[in-house]
Chain A
Amino acid sequence: MVHSRREGSGTCSHRNSVRTPETAHAPLRTHSICMVSDFFYPNMGGVESHIYQLSQCLIERGHKVIIVTHAYRDRKGIRYLTNGLKVYYLPLQVMYNQSTATTLLHSLPLLRYIFVRERVSVVHSHSSFSAMAHDALFHAKTLGLHTVFTDHSLFGFADVSSVLTNKLLTVSLCDTNHIICVSYTSKENTVLRAALDPQIVSVIPNAVDPTDFTPDLQKEKTNKITIVVVSRLVYRKGVDLLGGIIHELCQKYPELHFLIGGEGPKRIILEEVRERYQLHDRVRLLGALEHHQVRDVLVEGEIFLNTSLTEAFCMAIVEAASCGLQVVTTRVGGIPEVLPDNFIILCEPSVRSLCTGLEKAIHQLRAGTLPNPETIHNTVKTFYTWRNVAERTERVYDRVSKETVLPMNERLERLVNHCGGVTGLIFALFVIISFLFLVFLRWTTPDYLIDVAVDASGPNAAWPQHNCRKKPRKKLTMKK
């Protein structure tokens, strides 16, 4: 364990020594980052696009990034995405909702092989729902690598499933080097769930690509007011509230139209409301939308409505604001932190309050006091950018690589003290078993027998990246 850690930091400092004089004041080290999650392309979603965008920006900054995920149907093996982003699709059994089955030990040989051959120095896991992410954290600590975890969602505390999940999260995060959350509310939630020291939790929000979400400047001004809703139609997204709002407002405002994109089990409620009050011409249900269709749907409206009952960050409202829409949303989770007051109207999660908020937005729209879509877009595009997220994440990696990985005895002590008697002992046992398993693996397949992989990104990339912005800091590329 100690040997590989020194090896990893040794290569970093070697790269450090090949600095140009003008960058001597900024400590620059490149990291070899492995992103692990069950959720990645071809699955589409918030976590997936977060991992992809963050990896691309880190590659642009000169780091080496690989992604490890599970195989999706036919997509098995190693694939390369843009800019040399290498993705490992591992043949592990998927159990439920794209999350793999885990025994905490069966993935050790493969993950250890990958970490050694790619000379990974930091393992960055995403999403508490992903079993592979927790497995990777567990094995990375056994191998002596630095670990970072990003949490994308909020959790409750009350029911049985939450209690168990929080306990597992405590075990997983008790010896992780650093944790990243996407909002301050999410940080408070994670700190309470896993009983963490708040100093090791950073808040780095998500971002949106502003070129994907631009307002439609050619749109004609008509009398019609369209309210757009784009979300999965499930209970958590407050579709029940939406049903009530449609009826109330369509009665009051004859020129109001609703445009609803997304699919889910609660679609039936909206169809019933539409049927009952004969609103077929004013309420359009578009069904499931592809990612590239979302912008075209958003620019058709003037107001974006979000009725979620719980949300850690809510990308949808930032995307809508980027398209120039006025946002009306429920005040839950991390939403109050996301946009300034002049771009967002916050309401309580009840039909009355949301109707009041929407009426306020409609009056403002009619009176012309709403900011112009282009102004909104130009302001919002400076708020959240992937490059900023990558820069802040890089700072986390820099901080983490200076820390030491807990040796075995301290790790066992931390588990038993921090996670409670019974759970701590069970997982301490797992740690010992996995360590012995690792010793066995190192005897059957020693590290020197593992071929070092050819880098596809990072300073030693075998194929030059034509799309990268050449910044003066990146003079570290060593010519072979």
Chain B
Amino acid sequence: MEGKEYTDIYGNKITLQQQSYNDTCQDFTITSSKMSLRSLTTWTCSVWIVAYAVFYYTQHSAVLTAAILFSIVGLLLYLHLVKVDHESLLILGSLGIQTTSTYASGRENTVFIEMCRVQDVVINEGISMHRVNYYLCLLLKDPRNPQAGVSQVIPIFQSSQPRLDCLTEIYRSCQEILSSQRSKATS
């Protein structure tokens, strides 16, 4: 399926790809923008300028070596642990929901939730220290005690942080699948 262009809450471009395998099976992938060459060079240059200034005052060549190592190791750690390349949400109507985060280094982090534990998928508003954002989240229930209500809330697309228009798209499709699932369960 072709990707639709949206923006995230910081103004960066993200792409939403929606793949429908079946009536009850859909896959949403949000791809964040790649790390820009400009930000990489800015960071590296600033680290090296600081290192050079320290070297100028202390005349320790170890400072320069440390700067080089720090920038290389820092970049690797960033790519491996922080920078998310794309996040995806796979809904299998009868089976469950799977969320995957793929980092820039290729590492993947997957969580699978069985459909019996899923109560609903909603868009919620959250307040942080200086902003109020919409985010998509899964409401889970305890299958042994379904009357107890919501037992856990799992937010999804936390790294891409798409805006409301993108979230409503995903939300609508999820709700179609979940409601058809519920009507199948009750009938």
Chain A interface residues toward B at CB < 8 A: 76-78, 88-91, 109-110, 113-114, 117, 445-446, 449, 451-453
Contacts and interface: CB of A to CB of B under 8 A. Distances in A.
Contacts of B127: 76-78, 88-91, 110
A449 B161 CA distance: 12
Interface string B135-174: 0000000000000000000000000000110000000000
B131 A110 contact: yes
B131 A109 contact: yes
A461 to B, nearest CB: 16
A452 B134 CA distance: 10
A117 B11 contact: no
B131 A451 contact: no
A173 B107 CA distance: 57
A114 B129 contact: no
- Among A89, A445, A446, A451, find the residue whose CB has the most chain B CB atoms closer than 10 A: A451
Given A449-B9, A449-B11, A113 B132 contact: yes
A117 B9 contact: no
A91 B126 contact: no
B11 A113 contact: no
Contact of B130 (A78, A109, A117): A109
Contacts of B125: 77-78, 453
Nearest to B133: A451
A77 B125 CA distance: 8
B129 A110 contact: yes
A114 B132 contact: yes
B124 to A, nearest CB: 8
B29 interface: no
B10 interface: yes
- Among B131, B133, B134, B164, find the residue whose CB has the most chain A CB atoms closer than 10 A: B131
23 contacts: A76-B127, A77-B125, A78-B125, A78-B126, A88-B127, A88-B132, A91-B129, A109-B129, A109-B131, A110-B127, A110-B130, A113-B130, A113-B131, A114-B132, A117-B132, A445-B131, A449-B10, A449-B11, A451-B9, A451-B133, A451-B164, A452-B164, A453-B132
Contacts of B130: 109-110, 113
Contacts, number: 42
Contacts of B26: none
Contacts of B101: none
Contact of B7 (A88, A113, A449, A453): A449
Nearest to A117: B132
Contacts of B7: 449
A357 B156 CA distance: 68
A91 B11 CA distance: 25
A76 B127 CA distance: 8
Interface in B57-100: none
Contacts of B133: 451
A296 B133 CA distance: 45
A375 B127 CA distance: 50
A451 B130 CA distance: 14
Contacts of A90: 127
A296 B112 CA distance: 55
A113 B129 CA distance: 11
A451 B129 contact: no
A446 B131 CA distance: 12
Contacts of B129: 91, 109-110
Contacts of A77: 125-127
Contacts of A451: 9, 133-134, 163-164
Nearest to A452: B164
A227 B129 CA distance: 51
A64 to B, nearest CB: 16
B10 to A, nearest CB: 7
A463 to B, nearest CB: 14
A378 B182 CA distance: 52
5 pairs of A and B residues whose beta carbons are closest in the complex: A109-B130, A451-B164, A78-B125, A449-B11, A113-B131
A163 to B, nearest CB: 35
A67 to B, nearest CB: 14
Given A77-B126, A451-B163, A110 B132 contact: yes
Given A449-B11, A451-B9, 10 more contacts: A76-B127, A77-B125, A78-B125, A78-B126, A88-B127, A109-B130, A110-B129, A449-B9, A449-B10, A451-B133
Contacts of B163: 449, 451
Contacts of B9: 449, 451
A32 to B, nearest CB: 16
B126 A446 contact: no
Contacts of B11: 446, 449
